[in-house]
Amino acid sequence: MSDALDTRSQLIDATINALHDIGPSGLRVSKIALEVGISEASVYHFFKNKNDLIETSQIEAYRRSYLEMVIPFSAAVDLSDSAEDFIRVVRKLYEMIFSVERHPIRAARIQVIGAAMASPRLRESLNVINREVHEDLAEVIRRAQSRGWVNPDRDARAIAYWINAQTNGRVLIEMDPDWGDLSNWNEIAVSALLSIFDPNPK
């Protein structure tokens, strides 16, 4: 990787971390530059302005957050030898996806989706990422359908988008400190997914 690409990547990584911690309104380009070890003026060799830096970093954070979901799900199908194995792995995967440690990733996704409502650039970029990621996820679901583990009558792409919406929707209860035991929501979410997957619905 060239020095210029490396510096640009470091700026994006530092901005992603700052966005997690303080959000777009609190972000200071001078602090990002200091963290990377360059002058504030040098940041603008890589990005047109502060908003360009923020949106580029939001797009990258959004893209990365989904790769972390699709890759393990694909592995779950490939490593399963039976429907029972598959269900066990899906439950384990959902434990990881719904973990407290992943709350910042879910919250950042929601923040980026909200920002995209007012930004044509973000909206267009997120649509491209969504199409790619959900097609990858749909392909994994189709592999499970071909093995008889997921209802073949279900539209794989619709399932992929539904899984995403369900996962992001967990942020609603995570915002409420009085919600209580989140495991109740988790179990309903997993049960709903498994009922959609059920190759022999009653």
Each domain of the chain, given as residue ranges in start order, spans 1-47, 55-197
Q: Quick check: 138 and 160 in contact, CB under 8 A?
A: yes
Fold identical between 1-47 and 55-197? Answer: no
Segment 82-111 mean pLDDT? 89
List Cβ neighbours of 15 (8 Å cut-off, separation of 6 or more). Answer: 27, 32, 53, 54, 56, 57
- As its CATH architecture, domain 55-197 has Orthogonal Bundle (1.10)
Segment 4-29 mean pLDDT? 89
Q: How far is CA 197 from CA 5, 6, 141, 152, 190, in A?
A: 43, 43, 9, 9, 10
CA 31 to CA 28: how far, in whole Å? Answer: 5
Q: Is 1.10.10.60 the CATH number for 1-47?
A: yes
Task: Please give the model's pTM, rounded to 2 decimal places.
Answer: 0.84
**Top-confidence residue, 78 or 156:** 156
Each residue of 38-85: pLDDT tens digit?
999 999 999 999 999 999 999 999 998 887 778 888 888 888 999 999
Q: Quick check: 40 and 28 in contact, CB under 8 A?
A: no
